[in-house]
């Protein structure tokens, strides 16, 4: 029996393949800093992309991307800042969401570029 972890892992694999086919270079998957995690870190041109992957078996309750609420966005931004500081990144950055839904024929992937922005203090 497949678990939610299995579905999530499958979604992250599908998302990485999807990005690679679109010309992105996947730098890291499941990058961690303490309790913070980034699903996928990729690069296209001179832009580093921090991609959050949300995978669901259906859309009865909500679309997968809707699970990336303000609280989740703050955690992703904190993790991205940790990555940028640790590796002294000097590229443009952006935050994308890959929303994946399992269907009878496989998976539907929606790539939302510039899905959210960090707030300036």
Task: Residue 57: give its domain's CATH number.
Answer: 3.40.1350.10
Residue pair 80/38 in contact (Cβ under 8 Å)? The answer is yes
- pLDDT at position 25 is 98
- Look at residue 20 and tell me if it is in a domain: yes
Structural domain count of the chain:
1
- Look at residue 29 and tell me if it is in a domain: yes
Token digits of residue 22:
């679109």
This prediction has a pTM of 0.92
Among the listed residues 118, 3, 2, 112, the one whose alpha carbon sits nearest the alpha carbon of residue 67: 112
List, in order, residues 6 or more apart from 55 with CB less than 8 Å away.
Answer: 7, 8, 10, 11, 12, 14, 64, 100, 101, 102, 107
* 34-66 pLDDT per residue, tens: 999 999 999 999 999 999 999 988 766 778 888
- Look at residue 94 and tell me if it is in a domain: yes
**Residue-by-residue pLDDT tens, the chain, 121 positions:** 456 688 888 999 999 999 999 999 999 999 999 999 999 999 999 999 999 999 988 766 778 888 899 999 999 999 999 999 999 999 999 999 999 999 999 999 999 999 999 876 6
- Look at residue 121 and tell me if it is in a domain: no
């Amino acid at each position: 029996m497949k678990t939610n972890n299995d579905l999530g892992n499958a979604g992250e694999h599908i998302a990485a393949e999807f990005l690679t086919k679109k010309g992105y270079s996947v730098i890291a998957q499941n990058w961690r800093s303490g309790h913070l995690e980034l699903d996928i870190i990729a690069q296209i041109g001179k832009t580093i992309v921090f991609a959050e992957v949300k995978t669901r078996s259906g859309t009865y309750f909500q679309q997968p991307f809707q699970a990336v609420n303000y609280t989740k966005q703050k955690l992703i931004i904190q993790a991205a800042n940790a990555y940028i500081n640790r590796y002294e990144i000097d590229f443009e950055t952006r935050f994308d969401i890959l929303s994946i839904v399992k269907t009878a024929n496989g998976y539907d992937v929606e790539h939302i570029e510039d899905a959210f922005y960090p707030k300036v203090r």
